[in-house]
């Protein structure tokens, strides 16, 4: 069985990079306060797009276990050493789901943007992989 992977969507990352570059371009013609605000926002969006490109895939899983990548390292473990939980919450009146992956002493929380998919769907697919059922 091949590994299933999840990562941020390329289009969202490209839009973040384009908006970041646009903000930096606009900031050049502004006063000091405007340069600081728009320049900071531009650099933040470029950093987000860069991290999306570097940390790919964020989550990979197969029948043996899973691997989670962060900016600083790669966490991998067999299914027996991993706990996966789906957390539901509300933000601005909307249901929001996050996927919590507990690998040993490390807890990684992934949302829809990091996974490029609905965390509830990812949790279901991970359960299927863990149980050895087909996706």
Supply the pLDDT for residue 53: 93
pLDDT band at 92 (very low <50, low <70, confident <90, very high): confident
User: Going by C-beta distance under 8 Å and a sequence separation of 6 or more, which residues neighbour residue 71?
Assistant: 51, 54, 55
Supply the pLDDT for residue 95: 86
Supply the pLDDT for residue 8: 95
Domain count, the chain: 2
The domain of 94 spans: 59-131
Q: Which residues pair with 99 in a beta bridge?
A: 86, 110
pLDDT, averaged across the chain: 91
Residue with tokens 């908006």: 19
Same domain assignment for residues 25 and 66? no
Dist CA 103 CA 106 (whole Å): 5
Whether residue 1 lies inside any domain: the answer is no
- Does residue 91 have a pLDDT over 90? no
pLDDT band at 1 (very low <50, low <70, confident <90, very high): low
């Amino acid at each position: 069985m091949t590994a299933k992977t999840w990562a941020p969507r390329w289009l969202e990352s490209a839009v973040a990079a384009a908006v970041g570059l646009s903000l930096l371009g606009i900031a050049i013609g502004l006063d000091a306060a405007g340069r600081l605000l728009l320049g900071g926002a531009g650099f933040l969006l470029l950093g987000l797009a860069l991290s999306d490109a570097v940390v790919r895939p964020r989550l990979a899983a197969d029948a043996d276990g899973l691997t989670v990548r962060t900016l600083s390292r790669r966490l991998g473990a067999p299914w027996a050493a991993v706990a996966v939980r789906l957390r539901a919450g509300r933000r601005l009146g909307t249901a929001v789901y996050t996927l919590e992956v507990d690998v040993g002493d490390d807890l990684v929380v992934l949302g829809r943007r990091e996974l490029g998919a609905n965390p509830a769907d990812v949790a279901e697919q991970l359960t299927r992989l863990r149980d050895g059922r087909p996706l």
